[in-house]
Each structure stands twice: as structure tokens, then as C-alpha cells.
Structure 1
Amino acid sequence: MSRHADNDAHLLDLATMPRERMEMLLERADHFARGGTVPPALEGVAVCTLFFEPSTRTRLSFQLAAQRLGAHVLGFDVSTSSASKGETDVDTLRTLEAMGVRGFVVRHGGDGAVRALAAHARPGTVLVNAGDGRNAHPTQGLLDMLTLRQVRGPDLSGLKVLVVGDVRHSRVARSDLQGLRTLGVRDIRVSAPANLLPQADELDGCTVVPELDRALDGVDVVMLLRLQRERMVDGLVASLEDYHRDYGLDARRLRLAAPGAVVMHPGPVNRGVEVTDEVVDGPQSLVLRQVANGVAVRAAVLEALLGQPPAPHWVT
């Protein structure tokens, strides 16, 4: 695979991002989140949101971020494009490159699909992974790390973090775990049904605690995951009621965590399945802050990768 498919030119995942780069991106995003000036760094640059899967939060926040940076933003709807006539993903990319599009924000249902596309991109083209299959969702991981830093300070190493739910099918979980490890979090717990856990090597550095009540003991952060029913084979969850009984977060269970523990969820939330209304709408929920931070993080990423000239702390 060519060097151009590396994270040097694109943002494909968080697995190899050095801590210094991650912290610089988070500091820039925090500047934007706090109302700092957003420069017209992408003035004259064409950015396409190339989404082969549905999205609300990710797509719209990338569009807002690109617009605030001065970019020309093109939306791609697979249902009304030539992709619906059989055009390959690579031909779609090349067609848009020929029109002068430099930046592509790509969501795709296939594991590793964005990296595969990046291998075919022209020099000077930038791809940002907006979620590919079960593989990665790096900007979600970054916005979750930003949200934690805002409420807990820049040093996250002493936090006790619990990830709950469908880790096996979750690209968000993979990127969050990469971000937590990179930023030095030492106590990472995972609680899920056995058949919703990934391979053991993906949980390196984590402690698996199958019983949710025990896993919640004293944690500072509860990161809930959406039940990825569209990526499951039948039978992995007996019923939504059973899942909620065993792994749903309600007020009683939240009291098992540390005082002031915060609750996160990438959305969309399956209310009454992963979490109850009183928790997701309650004072300990950071769900809407995560949404707000998505625009700031995505602006920081686009500025760093596509700004003129590229930010020296990012592109090497």
C-alpha cells in the first residue's frame, strides 16, 4: 500500500496517532469549542461529504465545520448518484477529484473501505474517515476525548472509564479505546455480553467485567454504545428487554459509579435499551456536549489536513 494511504496524509484511525499530535488537535478543537475565531483556512477548497451510509450528527457537523472554514461543500447522496447504477467507489472518487474536489469525508459500511479508497487517491487529496464498518470512527474518538478533557482536565490518566455494550460491532468503541490508551488512561473496563465482545487483542489494556453492576463500581466515566443491530447476525441478543435488564443504564445503576460520574453516548440513542430517559436527559449526561464538540473537532481536523499551507504539526 502506498505511503499516501497513511495517516500522514489522511485521518483513517487513531491507532498510530502520536500523543503530541492528538493533544495539539484537541487543544485547537477546544479553542473552537470555546468560541475562538475560526479562520477561513479552507477558502476556495472543495470538500465532499461522501457518505455511503446514512448519518445525521457526523455528516451535518462535518458540513458545518467545513463551511465555517470557508470551504465549498458538496453533499453526496448514494441513492441519487451513479453509485446506484453500479459505479465503483474508486471511480466515484476519481470523478469527484477530476472536478477539483480536494477533501473527502467518507462514511462507508465496509471495514477498511476508507483506507482502501485512500490508496487510490491522488497526491494532494485528503480523506477523513467518518466511520467505516466496524473498523474506526476517529473523529468520534477525538470529540469524546475533548469532552472528557473539558470536564475532567487535560490529565485523564487517573480516570476510571467503563465502556458498556456492543463493542464487537462498534467502530466508536475501537476509536475511543485507542484515544483513551494514547492519552494514558490506565483503568479501562469493558462490560458486555460475551457474544458482543471483540477478539481479545482488541481489548489490550482493558479489564472485562461481565456484570454491569460490578463494573460500575467507582467509575468516573460511563461510555455507552449503541446496540448495532444492523451489523449483527440474528440471535446475538435474545431481546431488547433482556439487554436492557442486564446492560441498560438507569438511575439506580448510575449511583453505583463514583459521585459526579459522567455518562456518554455517541448517538443515536436507543432510549429504554442502552439507557433510560432520566439518565440520558439528566445532569450527568454529556451527550449533547459531545454533539456540540463534534463541529469543533471536525473543524480542527479539516484545518490541519486541508489548510493552506498544511499545519506543520500535523502533516509530516
Structure 2
Amino acid sequence: MTWTRHHVLGLADWVKDEYDTLLQTASSFREVLSRRTKKVPALQGLVVTNMFFEPSTRTRSSFELAAKRLSADILNFAPGSSSLTKGETILDTAKTYLAMGTNIMVIRHKEAGVPQAIAAEMDRLDTGVSILNAGDGQHEHPSQGLLDLFTICSLLDCDKPRLELLNGKKIAIVGDILHSRVARSNIWSLTAAGANVHLVGPPTLVPEWFKGMKNDSHSGELFLHWELEPALENADFVMTLRLQKERMTDYLLPSLREYHQLYGMTRNRLQLCHPDVKILHPGPVNRGVEISSDLMDDPQFSLIQQQVTSGIAVRMALLFLIGTSSEMVE
């Protein structure tokens, strides 16, 4: 299969072949990561710049390690000690890294659209630089959506993860849908796979307009709930989301205690799900709020650590594919 995508800014327009190419490539890199020598020269000589304008542990570290495993050179941007504090614009900062020889920019920003703006400027200047969106505002977080997809598909078939494995599966996404870029990316990827996605949370955090995110070309269905039980009934997978208190400008919740009582995942509530149900969470986790601590740490149900591990292989695949976009992917 041929990979032609130069930037990865979101998943809304991805097609089946792209997902399967990504999954197969990530699977091959997972095998690389299981070796004693975990490094390959795939991107040797290329420069990857991590431009994170927002705090991050998992995503930033995962992208940095992924680039190092591919033998790329790494530049890390720290906004607090950069020329932004002196009045430099974000586009001028990006052009500075361009002048240093950057080939791929991995960008996270609290405002939606910043990676797209930088990508447009790089294209206008005909630089050949690729942009990878590591999360922008309340828009998307494509690499998280892809690593969640890879984690689930690998559980269903470790040797050959592929999109068709999720056809007809029921997946509940619970929590702060309104502020979640992770939820948006997962809606696109999971419905493209044919999964039926059930969004559930308080009415203030699951607005009615989310129904409009259904892509008519996707075979999976999208459902909204404001009560937990119907969303969990016979669910194959449950993804809990962090309450993003830093983004809540209005009083959207009475209290964290009440939220946990109504929407927190516990062992008792798992009884509503399919017997083989698995739990995911993109992190960071508010223990005892979105999910009980004992459930989070139970390997029988929790895929949270597998998500972190999958993230390195998936981000290696993304960097590799956009870094060698003119080559054939086998």
C-alpha cells in the first residue's frame, strides 16, 4: 500500500486503507521494540522537532522516544524559555526551527487550528516539512486515537491488527466529551472501523450536537446517552475520559464525588458490560473520579499500560510514514 499523506492533522478524512497501513506498520515496529536492540536507522539524518505549547507527559515522551528509536535527531521546544516570551510569533518560531533543518514538526497547542496554520505556512513556503498534530484545543488528538485503535485491534488479533476486527463491536466513551480532543479522534477512527460508539456523560458535557459528527461513509453508528447504564450494556470496550477541569469555564459539574457516583467506572458497573470487557483511559487519570483505583490497576480489565506501550509503536509508525511518504509501504 502507498502512503501519500504529508501531514497528520486529524482523522476525520482518513480512509480504511490508511488505517490498515498505520496498524500494520505499528505492528512491525512493536516487534522492533521487543528486541534487545530497539533502534532502526529508518529516519537517520532527519530532524524531528517537538513543539509542545502545553504540558504533556505521555505524548511528548512517547514522540521523543519514537523519534530516537528511528534514529532521527531531536529538537525539543520549551515555551517558557523560548523567544515567545519576548514577543516572537508561533509562525516565526516554526520558521526558526525550519532554518535549523527540521523535517517533521510535532505540535501541541491549547488552541484549535495551530498545527493546521503552521502546516499551511510550510506548504505555502514549499518547505517539504511535515506537521503532526499532537493535540490542538478541542479539535483532535490523532495519534491518541490511533494508539487506542491499535491497542484494541492488537488485543483482538496480536499478529495482524486491522480495522475489520472492530466491525459491530460496542464501545462506550464515558466522561468529558465536550472538552475531549481524544473523544473526537476516537469517534472518527472507531466508526470508520464499523464499531458502534456510545457517548455518555452529564448533559453539560455531552451536548446534543455531537450527533452531527457521524460520517455517512463510516459503517459504525454513533449514539448519545446521559445515563450510564444503557451505554454500558453489553459493551465490549469502555473508554473513560479525564474531567478537564482546566478547560471548564462554567459550573458544569456539581462535584467530583457526585460525578463518580453517577458516571465513575467501578467493578459493579462492569457487570453491565460484556464478560470480556476491557477498560481504556488516555491519561492522566483522576483516580477515584473517572475510574476506581482498584479497577485501573487490575490487568484483567485495564488496558491503560498497554495504551502507553502502544503509543511508542504507533508514533514510530506515524513518523516513519510521513518521513518516507514517497516510498512504498509493504
- The aligned amino acid for 2:135 is G
- Where does 1:1-316 land on structure 2 (aligned, <5 Å)? 8-35=5-32, 39-121=40-122, 122=125, 123-153=127-157, 154=162, 155-185=165-195, 187-198=196-207, 199-204=209-214, 205-282=221-298, 283-307=300-324, 310-312=326-328
- The aligned amino acid for 2:31 is R
Shift of 1:197: 1.5
Shift of 1:242: 1.1
Cα separation, 2, equivalents of 1:104 and 1:132: 14
Cα separation, 2, equivalents of 1:201 and 1:256: 24
CA contact (8 A) 2:112 2:139 kept: yes
Cα separation, 1, equivalents of 2:5 and 2:241: 29
CA RMSD of aligned residues (A): 1.6
Shift of 1:313: 5.3
**Which residue pairs with 2:217 in the alignment?**
none
- The aligned amino acid for 1:85 is K
- What 5-or-longer segments of structure 1 have no aligned partner? 1-6
Cα separation, 2, equivalents of 1:124 and 1:273: 44
Aligned residue for 1:100, secondary structure, equals coil
- The aligned amino acid for 2:252 is L
Deviations 1:203-259 (A, max 9, x none): 423111221123211100001111111111130111111111111001101121110
Cα separation, 2, equivalents of 1:84 and 1:135: 26
- The aligned amino acid for 2:201 is A
Cα separation, 2, equivalents of 1:15 and 1:158: 20
Shift of 1:272: 0.7
CA contact (8 A) 1:46 1:71 kept: yes
CA contact (8 A) 2:11 2:188 kept: yes
CA contact (8 A) 2:39 2:68 kept: no
Cα separation, 1, equivalents of 2:314 and 2:54: 21
- The aligned amino acid for 2:319 is L
Cα separation, 1, equivalents of 2:92 and 2:40: 33
Cα separation, 2, equivalents of 1:208 and 1:144: 20
CA contact (8 A) 1:224 1:263 kept: yes
CA contact (8 A) 1:21 1:313 kept: no
Cα separation, 2, equivalents of 1:200 and 1:46: 38
Aligned residue for 1:196, secondary structure, equals coil
What TM-score, normalized to structure 1?
Answer: 0.93
Aligned residue for 2:282, secondary structure, equals coil
- The aligned amino acid for 1:145 is L
- The aligned amino acid for 1:284 is F
> Identity over the aligned pairs, expressed in percent?
42
What TM-score, normalized to structure 2?
Answer: 0.89
Choose 83-92 or 286-295, whichever is displaced more: 83-92
Cα separation, 2, equivalents of 1:253 and 1:267: 21
Aligned residue for 2:204, secondary structure, equals helix
Deviations 1:171-197 (A, max 9, x none): 000001111011121x21111111101
Choose 291-300 or 200-209, whichever is displaced more: 200-209
- The aligned amino acid for 1:107 is R
